């Protein structure tokens, strides 16, 4: 009887787990494109990612490109450069300045932090769409 109860409890626990509890799941503006990118830090175009505080942009990935930021030698963030509070359009691709991205749409000039993905002044707005970034040896895998 104990085995049946334990098996039932274990089954319910495993079924209730969600692989990704991303805050972007409810964003009506952005889709989740399939992203699977491997960055080899031994290649010169990714050398900046070996040093904390540096970032690179991966154009052509995600919706409007992906920015990858090196927090420290083990932790990286990766966010889509499409403003999460706009339907993708000609002006929704954001530009980077330091650790901040800015939407060029003149209606609002949204600004986001590329370390956290949060809006700079209004936490009630959607955060930037985040991708998983895992460093294994000299490779960083960016996926969703």
Give me the CATH number covering residue 138. 2.102.10.10
* Within a domain: 8: no
- Do 133 and 78 form a contact (C-beta atoms < 8 A)? yes
- Contacting residues for 143 by C-beta, under 8 A, at least 6 apart: 35, 36, 37, 131, 132, 134
Rounded CA separation 37/21 (Å): 21
Residue 136 lies in a domain: yes
The parent domain of residue 124 ranges over 41-143
**pTM, to two decimals:** 0.81
The answer to whether position 12 is within a domain reads: no
Q: What is the mean pLDDT of residues 56-62?
A: 95
- pLDDT single digits (tens) 2-25: 665 545 454 544 444 444 444 455
Phi and psi dihedrals of 104, rounded to 5?
Answer: -80, -5
Number of domains in the chain: 1
In 3-state terms, what secondary structure has residue 8? helix
Is 123 within the bounds of a domain? Answer: yes
97 part of a folded domain: yes
Which residues, at least 6 apart from 135, have a Cβ–Cβ distance to it below 8 Å?
73, 74, 75, 76, 141
Report if residue 25 sits inside a domain.
Answer: no
Per-residue pLDDT of 121-138, as tens digits, reads 898 999 999 999 999 999
Instruction: Tell me whether residue 45 is in a domain.
Output: yes
How far is the C-alpha of 10 from the C-alpha of 105, rounded, in Å? 49
Q: Is the CA virtual torsion 94, 133, 61, 46 positive or negative?
A: positive
């Amino acid at each position: 009887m104990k085995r049946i109860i334990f098996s039932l409890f274990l089954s319910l626990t495993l079924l209730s787990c969600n692989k990704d509890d991303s805050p972007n799941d409810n964003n009506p503006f952005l889709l989740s494109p399939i992203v699977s990118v491997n960055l080899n830090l031994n290649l010169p175009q990714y050398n900046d990612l070996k040093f904390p505080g540096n970032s690179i942009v991966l154009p052509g990935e995600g919706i409007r490109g992906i920015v990858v930021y090196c927090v420290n030698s083990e932790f990286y963030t990766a966010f889509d450069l499409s403003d999460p509070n706009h339907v993708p359009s000609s002006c929704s691709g954001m530009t980077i300045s330091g650790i901040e991205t800015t939407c060029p749409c003149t209606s609002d000039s949204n600004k986001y932090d590329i370390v956290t993905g949060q809006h700079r002044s209004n936490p009630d707005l959607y955060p930037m769409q985040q991708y998983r970034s895992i460093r294994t040896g000299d490779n960083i895998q960016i996926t969703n």
